[in-house]
Structure 1
Amino acid sequence: MGKGGSLSEGVLKKIVLSYTYVAIWIFLSFTVIVYNKYILDKKMYDWPFPISLTMIHMGFCASLAFLLIRVFKVVEPVSMSRDLYLSSVVPIGALYSLSLWLSNSAYIYLSVSFIQMLKALMPVAVYSIGVSLRKESFKTETMVNMLSISFGVAIAAYGEAKFDAWGVVLQLGAVAFEATRLVLIQILLTSKGISLNPITSLYYVAPCCFVFLLVPWIFVEYPILMATSSFHFDFAIFGTNSLCAFALNLAVFLLVGKTSALTMNVAGVVKDWLLIAFSWSVIKDTVTPINLFGYGLAFIGVGYYNHSKLQALKAKEAQKKAAQADEEAGTLLEKRENDGLVKKNESEA
């Protein structure tokens, strides 16, 4: 086969792999969300203890990450001082624990479809917090886009058949804490040149999350678990659920590392629509036309935001390449001038 055929095979292989990474991530994300809903919902498995479930996840992930790093040496640990851990990882771990706690709690009160609609507010929260912490520059066009997303989510909330105010507060709190965590990762870790993959992230962050969750668990859920004799561990249910949560972290790293963050955002939209369809057809949650109209508006706003980010990234890369080309041209010109000067001196000598 000729060179052109080899190139086509290479491109085809890359496309197939990209779609495979996307499919794996969507499947695992879908599975974790539905599995958590199944465990926490009183009408299904009936184990409504979100702090306990989150602690099980964190304990499992921390243990597995420790084995992979310290015992099997699959991944090298990141060099990190005690001061850096306390000043950077601990705040991120605290926010992560709150985000997971509240998001898991929301599954007790809200449908899967409505939670996915509320999650469309994540770009709004990230941008707003980024502006307030001076990590993002304020732009009127972007703020109008954020308002359009918020307006769409508000319409979806208005059309929700089983609206629960407390559940909405929990989910919005989860979005706010998660957005703050994402911004702080940029400020506290990325800006210092520290990059954590999912395994090293869980190795450092998961134990911190477990400790933070332990305090509210002792006062909120432990007395109820003991009083109702619900303090049991179903290895089949919680083991597979925790394994799926760990695998999802690896899938995120695989998807972003082999494709891009933008691909993950687009895949996230596909996953949200699949979850809405699953929630309506299988779980039998009520999805109203107003729900879909509002989320549709939010979806358009999120799509435009991702498009704007992509264009800005392309422009930045183009400027970087132009600067590199100018630098290389200047170096080449300087070399030619030096070579000419050497030859001139040799001829004069």
Structure 2
Amino acid sequence: MGKGSALSDGLVKKIILSYTYVAIWIFLSFTVIVYNKYILDRKLYNWPFPISLTMIHMAFCSSLAFLLVRVLKLVEPVALSRQLYLSSVVPIGALYALSLWLSNSAYIYLSVSFIQMLKALMPVAVYSIGILLKKDTYKGNTMLNMVAISFGVAIAAYGEAKYDSWGVLLQLGAVAFEATRLVLIQILLTSKGINLNPITSLYYVAPSCLFFLFIPWIFVEYPVLRENSSFHFDFVVFGTNSICAFALNLAVFLLVGKTSALTMNVAGVVKDWLLIAFSWSVIKDTVTPMNLIGYGLAFLGVGYYNHSKLQALKAKEAQKKSQQADEESGKLLGETEGKDGVEGIGKKGDTQA
């Protein structure tokens, strides 16, 4: 009875911790999205410089990661050769820069709710790019699911009250670059056995990302900022915003490390609905019935996709356990046969004697 109770208590504790990790990630992701929207929106804080905001985040994250890795030595760096860094980390940093630049730019033109609806296309982009780069295989059922998600997002876009073609193009570009980055992480890093936690990820990737952001910043935003002499850097606003962005990176690692990437995908759907509700009720963005119908269809498609991935993971795990059981049975049978053979030889020798 006591043992069963202890197991029950342990299970309850694990469930509570999992929900805590999910809640922390949702809160921080929610905060960063709304905070960025507040800073970039012309009707709110009115600082429409997405490249500059992203560079502030990357500079802060790079500095803090360097402090933790090299100065305080709280985190061990990963051994990366110059060639591996240039061939693997740098391309990922470039894609990360493009993804952040375009996604933050979209907040100037689109509502928070509509951006979350467009982000439902992420599984479509990841699957499509995975096929193009030969990381994934084409499956008719999965592609039909991707078409259903795309159809739902198209309906949501058709019903958008404040539709802006340029904003949609920016967000779709951000989704494409982010999906490519995720696939390349699997190809360039995971396949080579390189695992980076959030601190080492920022330590290696953030400086590369900052460099690639600096190039367009010089030509696009720097001339405007130089002429805008009335602007004064607000350390409270940009400092707290950068801290939230850094904390979000830690929360991602905490959630995926303690639960799974699939849990984060499911939690992301919950976060999207919360953001849509917040955008409608607090920010007063217009959310039409057509928006909700379209996103509802996309939501069902994403939910089915996550369910399919979960079933595939369970099948893979069951197959792995079955193979391990067969190997153990084979070893046990071999040991038994070897023992019987030795005993048989011993008995034969005794008879001859």
TM-score interval for Structure 1 and Structure 2 normalised by the shorter chain = over 0.9
Residue 248 of structure 1 corresponds to 248
How do 1:268-307 residues align onto structure 2 when only pairs under 5 Å count?
Answer: 268-307=268-307
TM-score, length-normalised on structure 2?
0.98
Taking only the aligned residue pairs, the percentage that are identical comes to 81
| AA in 1 matched with 2:42 | K
> Closer, same or farther in 2 for the Cα pair 1:342/1:105, shift >3 Å?
same
Q: Letter of the 1:110 partner, please give it.
A: L
Give the Cα–Cα distance (whole angstroms) in 1 for the partners of residues 186 and 151 of structure 2: 28
User: SS where residue 286 of structure 2 aligns?
Assistant: coil
- Which residue identity does 1:246 align to in structure 2? F
By how many angstroms is 1:74 displaced?
1.6
Is there any run of 5+ residues in structure 2 with no aligned partner, and where? none
Cα distance in 2, alignment partners of residues 62 and 337 from structure 1: 60
Aligned partners of 1:171 and 1:7: how far apart in 2? 47
SS at match of 1:75: coil
* 1:314-346 alpha-carbon deviations (Å, 9 max, x no partner): 111111111111001000000111111122223
Q: Distance in 2 between matches of 1:326 and 1:148?
A: 41
Q: Runs in 1 of length 4+ with deviation above 4 angstroms?
A: none
1:180 corresponding residue in structure 2: 180
Matches of 1:164 and 1:44, distance apart in 2: 19
Where do 1:1-349 residues align within 5 Å?
Answer: 2-229=2-229, 231-349=231-349
CA deviations 1:3-50 (Å, max 9, x no partner) are 111111111100110000000000000000000000000111110000
Deviation at 1:348, TM superposition (A): 2.9
Distance 1:233 1:206 in 2: 22
- TM-score of the superposition, structure 1-length normalised? 0.99
Displacement, 1:56? 0.3
Query: In structure 1, what is the Cα distance between the partners aligned to 2:275 and 2:264?
Result: 16
Amino acid across the alignment from 1:55: M
Structure 1 distance, partners of 2:249, 2:346, is 64
Q: Which one has the largest radius of gyration?
A: 2
Matched residues in 1 for 2:269 and 2:28: separation? 15
State how many pairs are aligned.
349
- Cα separation, 2, equivalents of 1:114 and 1:229: 34
